[in-house]
């Protein structure tokens, strides 16, 4: 398993970690199998989405903020309930098929760390299995 640390630069953002996933697969020497990408944080997530047009990421963040506004009433006393909810909505892991020693992703797809309570340094675990 490979662990990477990703510094985030704002409260809510997507960080493209596709190259890190590719690197982990190449370092594993697995030619056919699966890569599991997992974030062990309750206020961060991981997703696969378009990596060609940055407006898609802005739209996702904007609509998550509308669905889970910072200004709503929450019981959690730390003040980051919206981050917990958004992370639950997006999910803590993705699985990517590995074929020919490379991730099977669509033409426009990338793997993203989703930050909802930053800026922070986040750990991402990448497990590659045959």
Instruction: Give tens-digit pLDDT for 50-100.
Output: 999 999 999 999 999 999 999 999 999 888 999 999 999 999 999 999 999
Mean pLDDT within 10-18: 98
Mean pLDDT score of the chain = 97
HSE, side-chain direction, 13 A CA sphere, residue 59: 7
Q: Check residue 114 and give its pLDDT.
A: 98
The fourth-level CATH superfamily of domain 2-70+79-129 is: YjbQ-like (2.60.120.460)
Q: Check residue 125 and give its pLDDT.
A: 98
Q: Check residue 26 and give its pLDDT.
A: 97
**Dihedral of the alpha carbons of 30, 32, 36, 37, in degrees to the nearest 10:** 70
Where residue 47 falls (left for φ over 0; alpha for ψ -120 to 50; beta otherwise) is beta
Per-domain boundaries in the chain: 2-70+79-129
Q: Check residue 77 and give its pLDDT.
A: 84
Q: Check residue 4 and give its pLDDT.
A: 97
Instruction: Give tens-digit pLDDT for 29-40.
Output: 999 999 999 999
């Amino acid at each position: 398993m490979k662990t990477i640390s990703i510094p985030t630069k704002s409260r809510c953002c997507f960080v493209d970690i596709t190259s890190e996933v590719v690197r982990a697969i190449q370092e594993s020497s697995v030619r056919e199998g699966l890569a599991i990408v997992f974030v062990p944080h309750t206020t961060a997530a991981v997703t696969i989405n378009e990596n060609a047009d940055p407006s898609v990421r802005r739209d996702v963040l904007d609509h998550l903020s509308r669905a889970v506004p910072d200004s709503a009433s929450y019981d959690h006393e730390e003040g980051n309930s919206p981050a917990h909810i958004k992370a639950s909505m997006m999910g803590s892991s993705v699985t990517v098929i590995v074929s020919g020693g490379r991730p099977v992703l669509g033409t426009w797809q990338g793997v993203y760390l989703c930050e909802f309570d930053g800026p922070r340094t986040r750990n991402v675990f990448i497990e590659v299995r045959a």
